[in-house]
């Protein structure tokens, strides 16, 4: 799962990418700069404290730092190709007013920058759709497919991103197959300054939030310079610093968590003295398949999953022994849909 960081020039894309991916060196693949980000998880920290795990392994996400869009957020053919290879997009827009950071042209309010991007995404799809519909050799297209393409066309002509529509199970294969840009899940990251963070307001905020609500895009406001300071502090210092702004989590932690949810990903945990670890699966993954994440033998020889959810585990005094004695460790079969926060011990036999 890869998430592209995209937006106008100098919006703070690379700053965000570096904050998310930390010290790990970026890799380059297919013209993309890729880095791995940890998904902070307070539950995992607490489990690690309970089990005194020698190692704590967080869930990860891959982010890609992209070159800037055109002066009016135009998406070039080359960029469109890159964006289509990604599973979700984080659009960075600038609200901060630091005069030492030059704008690429006239200053653009964040809501305007975002709506330009959305329009460009829709226009890119319309162009692709025109080509598809005009293609002679595809005259043999099935009725379902034609209906799907027409539905796309009417949505796009109303300037609605394809991600905003409801798609039934029959349409989903088409949606995946055509990979239209505006069908991608989108998250909006607004780069604000400290004063705007303190006052909870910036120019264009109301308009931006309303646009994003309509399209069901989550919005994360972060202050790039402040996040750099925070990333250099230890945990205690971080907490104090954030509390002074009335925040519980850093913008980076909020963004990583939002990206995880955006991709419909959940975490289950395995616990032990050696390692306390979060594993990533799609929501509703059956237990047997989830076991395969940990080890292929566990999937092959799957017998049962011993499960307790994090919240219940903590409410029972954070003890597996007590949970077992009270019969609260459920034995689940191969089709059990794993839930976010499940602590699982896979029983297997190979
Ligand atoms: N004052 C201030 N400056 C910031 C903030 N975030 C980023 N910058 C500065 O803005 C400039 C551009 O930031 P980048 O992260 O390189 O932006 P970018 O979007 O990657 O830029 P391009 O890749 O050139 O399009 C740099 O000088 C950053 O130090 C912020 O929150 N506040
Ligand atoms: Mg950059």
E strand or H helix that includes residue 252: helix 251-262
Atom of ligand 1 nearest to the CA of 7: 19
Instruction: Give the pLDDT of residue 138.
Output: 65
Report the separation in Å between the CA atom of 141 and the middle of ligand 1, taken as the mean of its atom positions: 47
**pLDDT tier at 136 (50, 70, 90 boundaries)?**
low
Nearest CA residue ID for atom 5, ligand 1 = 224
pTM exceeds 0.75 for this model: yes
Instruction: Give the pLDDT of residue 65.
Output: 95
**pLDDT tier at 137 (50, 70, 90 boundaries)?**
low
Domain ranges of the chain: 2-262, 284-348
Instruction: Give the pLDDT of residue 49.
Output: 95
Residue-level length of the chain? 350
Average pLDDT score over residue span 283-293: 97
The end-to-end CA distance of the chain, in Å, is 30
Residue ranges lining ligand 1, Cβ < 6 Å: 9-15, 68, 96, 98, 101, 191, 193, 223-225
2-262 fold: Rossmann fold (3.40.50)
pLDDT in tens, 86-100: 999 999 999 999 999
Instruction: Give the pLDDT of residue 53.
Output: 84
Assigned superfamily of 284-348: Beta-grasp domain (3.10.20.30)
**Nearest partner of 124 among 63, 184, 164, judged by Cα:** 184
Report the separation in Å between the CA atom of 11 and the middle of ligand 2, taken as the mean of its atom positions: 8
**Ion ligand 2 nearby residues (CB, 5 A):** 13-14
Task: Tell me how many degrees the CA angle 301-298-280 measures, rounded to the nearest 5.
Answer: 145
Average pLDDT score over residue span 217-235: 95
pLDDT in tens, 6-35: 999 999 999 999 999 987 778 998 888 999
CA atoms of 318 and 128, how far apart (whole Å): 54
pLDDT in tens, 256-285: 999 999 999 999 999 998 999 999 999 999
Report the separation in Å between the CA atom of 255 and the middle of ligand 2, taken as the mean of its atom positions: 18
- DSSP code string of 148-172: HHHHHHHHHHTT--GGGS---TTTH
Atom of ligand 1 nearest to the CA of 192: 31
59-65 vs 32-39, strand pairing mode: antiparallel
Atom of ligand 1 nearest to the CA of 222: 31
pLDDT in tens, 59-114: 999 999 999 998 778 898 889 999 999 999 999 999 999 999 999 999 999 999 99
Q: Which residues of 142-172 are buried (b: 16+ CB within 10 A; e: fewer)?
A: eeebeebbeebbebbeeebbbbeeeeeeebe
Closest ligand to 7 CA?
1
| Most distant CA pair in the chain, distance | 69
Exposed (0-12), middle (13-18) or buried (19+): which is 59, by Cβ within 10 Å? buried
The residue ranking higher by pLDDT, 142 or 156, is 156
């Amino acid at each position: 799962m890869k998430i592209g960081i995209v937006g106008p020039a100098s919006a703070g894309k690379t700053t965000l990418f570096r904050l998310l991916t930390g010290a790990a060196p970026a890799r380059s693949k297919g013209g993309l700069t890729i880095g791995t980000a940890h998904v902070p998880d307070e539950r995992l920290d607490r489990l690690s404290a309970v089990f005194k795990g020698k190692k704590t392994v967080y869930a990860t996400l891959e982010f890609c730092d992209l070159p800037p869009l055109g002066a009016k957020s135009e998406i070039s053919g080359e960029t469109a190709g890159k964006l289509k290879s990604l599973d979700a997009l984080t659009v960075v827009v600038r609200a901060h007013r630091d005069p030492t950071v030059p704008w690429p042209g006239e200053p653009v309010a964040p809501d305007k920058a975002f709506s330009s991007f959305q329009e460009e995404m829709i226009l890119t799809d319309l162009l692709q759709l025109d080509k598809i519909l005009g293609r002679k050799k595809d005259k043999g297209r099935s009725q379902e497919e034609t209906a799907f393409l027409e539905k796309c066309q009417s949505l796009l002509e109303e300037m609605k991103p394809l991600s905003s529509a409801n798609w039934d199970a029959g349409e989903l294969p088409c949606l995946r197959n055509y990979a239209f840009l505006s069908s991608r899940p989108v998250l909006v990251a607004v780069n604000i300054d400290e004063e705007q963070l303190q006052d909870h307001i910036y120019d264009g905020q109301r308009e931006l939030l309303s646009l994003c609500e309509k399209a069901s895009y989550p919005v994360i406001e972060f202050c790039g310079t402040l996040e750099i300071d925070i990333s250099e502090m230890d945990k205690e210092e971080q907490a104090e610093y954030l509390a002074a702004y009335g925040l519980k989590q850093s913008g980076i932690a909020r963004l990583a968590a939002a990206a995880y949810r955006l991709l419909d990903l959940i975490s289950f945990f395995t616990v032990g003295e050696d390692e306390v670890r979060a594993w990533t699966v799609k929501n509703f993954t059956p237990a047997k398949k989830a076991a395969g994440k940990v080890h292929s033998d566990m999937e092959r020889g799957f017998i049962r999953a011993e499960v307790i959810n994090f919240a219940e585990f903590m409410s029972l005094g954070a003890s597996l022994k007590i949970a077992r004695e009270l019969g609260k460790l459920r034995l689940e079969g191969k089709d059990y849909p794993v839930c976010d926060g499940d602590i699982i011990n896979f029983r297997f036999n190979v």
